[in-house]
Every structure is written in structure tokens, then in C-alpha cells.
Homo-oligomer: A and B are copies of this chain.
Amino acid sequence: MPSKPAAPITIDAVYAAPGYLFRRMQQIAVSIFMEECKAFDLTPVQYAALIAIHTHPGIDATRLSAVIAFDRSTLGSVIERLQAKDYIERKPAPEDKRIKLLYLTKSGAAILREIIPAVKRAQARMLEPLKPADRKALMGLLVQLVDLNNDASRVPLRAEDALEHLGKGG
């Protein structure tokens, strides 16, 4: 049998590669989110940050970055923009001069309540083309994969560890 020739290098191989499909799907997800939420002037990242601060009032930036798996550097500018829009406020921590604690403002809590339906529509639209059983299957596999690959990312999710200081760990 002749030795198998090297597979031709073409763009079609890229179309079937997991990395390409993940990038593409993220692109699509952001696009749908922005479309459904265009009345609110909030990005997916800013939304996630608001929800996290709402869930953990008084969290600091470093712990927040672990809770939503954002880069610590990136998060700085996200916080700045949320503060500029008056959705959050930062208070110095009395017992540690390095830390600034994050809280939702009334505006922030209000927009969070208002945007929820749009976000739910967006999340539904992303999976809409699939049959209901396939949606479940896909989400199940994705949850597994993201969890099992957690440490492969530079900023692994540390939902639990990050919150011990708030007295909610355990």
C-alpha cells in the first residue's frame, strides 16, 4: 500500500476545526446579544460583571475577575466604563488600602432588572436553529468541556475559591 500522502492543507480543514467553530460561535453569540440588547448599551462582558457584582456585593476586582473568568487587566477598563455609566460604585476597603469594593448603584440594579428579558431572548436565539433535544445535548457537552478544560485557560474560573473572604465560601 502506498504511504498515505500528507493531507492537503486547505481552508476546508479549518472550517471543521474545533477552534474555528468556537471562534465563529462566539462571534455569532456576541452579535445576537448586542442586537437583542441594543436598547441598553451593555456588552455581554459588562452584563456578566454587573450580575456578578449583584450576586456578590462588595467583591473586589481581583476576585471578580476569578468569578467571571476575565483577565484582571481587562477587567480594569470594564469596571471603569461601568462606573462612568453610573451602574457601579467603588468604595475603599477599610481594612486593606489596596482594595476597592464594588457595589451596584440604583441605576445598575434597575438596568439589570430591565435587561433580563432581552438577555433571555438572546440566549434562546443562539440555540434556536437546533432541535430542542440537540440544544440540551450541546449545552450538556459544552458545560462538561468548559469545566474539564478550566485549567487550560490563562484565567480559570474560580467561582468558589474567590469568595471565601465574603464569608460565603464553603
Residues of A that sit less than 8 Å from B by CB: 9-33, 44, 48, 51-52, 54-56, 67-69, 112-113, 116, 119, 122-123, 125-127, 129-130, 134, 137-139, 141-146, 148-150, 152-155, 157, 159
Cross-chain contact B44 with A19 (CB below 8 angstroms) = yes
- Stoichiometry, copies per complex: 2
Cross-chain contact A23 with B29 (CB below 8 angstroms) = yes
Smallest Cβ distance from A98 to chain B, in angstroms?
24
A137-B137, A153-B31 are known contacts. Are A18 and B123 too (CB-CB below 8 A)?
A: yes
Q: Which of A19, A52, A139 has the most CB of B within 10 A?
A: A19
Cross-chain contact A149 with B129 (CB below 8 angstroms) = yes
A11-B55, A15-B159, A54-B9 are known contacts. Are A126 and B149 too (CB-CB below 8 A)?
A: yes
C-alpha spacing A134/B22, complex, angstroms: 16
Cross-chain contact B11 with A68 (CB below 8 angstroms) = yes
Can you identify 12 A-B contacts, CB atoms within 8 angstroms? A11-B51, A14-B68, A18-B29, A20-B48, A22-B142, A26-B26, A28-B152, A28-B153, A32-B152, A126-B149, A129-B145, A134-B141
C-alpha spacing A152/B52, complex, angstroms: 28
Cross-chain contact B19 with A33 (CB below 8 angstroms) = yes
Cross-chain contact A152 with B125 (CB below 8 angstroms) = yes
A23-B29, A112-B9, A138-B138 are known contacts. Are A130 and B153 too (CB-CB below 8 A)?
A: no
Cross-chain contact A138 with B142 (CB below 8 angstroms) = yes
Smallest Cβ distance from A27 to chain B, in angstroms?
5
Partner of A142, one of B25, B122, B146: B25
Contacts of A18 in B (CB 8 A): 29, 123, 126-127, 139, 142
